[in-house]
Structure 1
Amino acid sequence: MSLVLVADDEPAVLEVLSQVVEDMGHDVLQARDGEEALGLARARQPQLVVTDHMMPRLSGLELCRKLRSDHVLKDVPVILLSAVLPHGVPEASAFLHKPFEINDFESLIRQSLAHTPVARPAPDAPPVEALGHWVAQTLQGPLAVAREQLQRLHAAPAADRQALDTLGAQLRSMEAVTRNLQEAARLAAGSVTLRAVSEDLTPHLRRVVESWQSQAPEVAIHLSAPEEPVGLHFDPERIRQVFDSLLANAVHHGKGRGEVRVELTTSQGLVTVRVRDEGLGFPEQELSRLFTPFQARSEDGGTRLGLYIASELARLHGGALSVESRPEKGSTFSLLLPRG
């Protein structure tokens, strides 16, 4: 599993490319312009950068040049995407001309990461973090082979498309569990630190809602937020993880029953994000265990690592995550974040 930074100023393209990279079993950082990409690269040190060329503030070519001049990031491979440039540039490790086939993009990702060392925990990392990393790395190989074989089956003329779609969904689920396991181990070991900035929270929430609207068009998702900026000191990438976990739970646990409502409200000292669904709800005896790792779900035998991770990231921001739920009445998850 590698950390891949994807930069593109078109939200739809950014989400598609990010999903492809995640489906391949890697963690993704998203940037919407060159300056944001450079800042994330310096803060998180990804193993690969994928960037569009035509972006505001800093073009893809300029980003390549700045990465090459950075003594820490100079050897990080960069895939440059462009509909304007006819060929690659010396500063980029690889080049794809837009439009391109997803299979070509996946192949280039694999080639670029083939000889790139995967980030490893420090030699003195706590045992729980080392264990999480070992499990994730052990599963990565078999999952990658399974993904490649699934793609071969898709190309077969007599393939059972419904069965292949089901297998693909299960593979994505296993890859997500692998990523969450490693993240949960780092959180349990106290190895996660925030890289906070002072920004308007609303656009970050809006982008996650739009992403889930695209992924689950059959579910009505409504966002209510103040018109004025909601200033807050937070880590954008980590808060996006929290939002993503809450929306994932609302969409999947809601089972398509009714709509999902996302509400952002503010007071003098607090910012609150509520995610309401009209799904099955949770039995009272399960509520106290929702944010505890490795607790089995009564309905499907799965685990709630995503909610545990979201709760821990909220705590690192000085906030908290809570839930109100009743069977057959839906659930409301509330993220509370202090201002100032």
Structure 2
Amino acid sequence: MAQIDHTVHVALGERAYDILIGPDLLAEAGAILADKFPGRRFGIVTDENVARAQLPRLTAGLDKAGLHYETVVLPAGEATKSYAMLERVVEGLLAARLERGDLVIALGGGVIGDLAGFAASVTRRGMDFVQMPTSLLAQVDSSVGGKTGINSPHGKNLVGAFHQPKLVLADLSALDTLDRRQFAAGYAEVVKYGLIDDPEFFEWLDANLGEIFEGGPARGEAVARCCAHKARVVIEDEKETGVRALLNLGHTFGHALEKDTGYGDRLLHGEGVSIGMVLAHRFSTELGLAPGQDAGRVVAHLKRAGLPTTLADIPGTLGSTQDLMAAIAQDKKVQRGALTFILTKGVGQAFIEKGVEPGRVAAFLDAVR
């Protein structure tokens, strides 16, 4: 019997779904899927690392429930979010003779969730899919809300679709297999929710950081609170025409840094977001919008979590300010060539600022290099 510690409902009318949070849910997934989706077959998409660590638990449960499944295993890493791997997944699903009424299972972190969800959205003109996030980043952010996609040579997440899952199973036990760097990278997305508009949550995180990293009850509560926050935003603005853009706090800078470092282990996504959130706070201070001490509080908390907070923390040599600005100019929030940033008036007071002068951004980056 599955132990469900938290259930978060994403109320999107006929596309509504639940996020189930608890321990050992991968082992119980077969029973859950058989109950919720009787008669369906499944195409599991995962990567080599997750296949070793988590796939046997999932398939044992599927076998026990008598479910039919096929598996596509991909290389691990951000570079997998590519046209080539999209083709590999789609062709794998088609070769398995999965039909439109069957389901794709995205088993992995944010890369697999984004890629598998996008593949589901285009295979046979649209298949349903289930998110089974195995990283902290995916459990609190990327598995919820229906954003799917791949990267382009021009930038991150520039090719994709909004395609909501039918169910999210967040197995807290899967987080025990993450190394500290990967867990910390995911934690950057946890902190983001407090910095956007929930200063009380930021204070709670500051008080419970140790228990979250050690795997106590606060870990599950943090995942649930983040999912509930994102669900509220998605319900209000599913396709990011307004307030959902706030969830990109730190991402404009972060995505540019990821592109510059080649989407690899040199800078993990969450590490880019961590530096990006600090830059967003410091840029806001530079513009006279936020008190400098709030940027200091953000830096202190992220450092406690073991996250990078400055450009100097990135190994190797970065490209020029011009290179970074070229990446920023490809950000999805750009409108008619004008830059849009998520800025802040302090901890928990983020807002959307359109028409940011590129020269101010370039001068700021020159100053912090």
TM-score (structure 2 length as normaliser): 0.31
Higher relative contact order (CA closer than 8 Å, sequence separation 6+): 2
More helix by share: 2
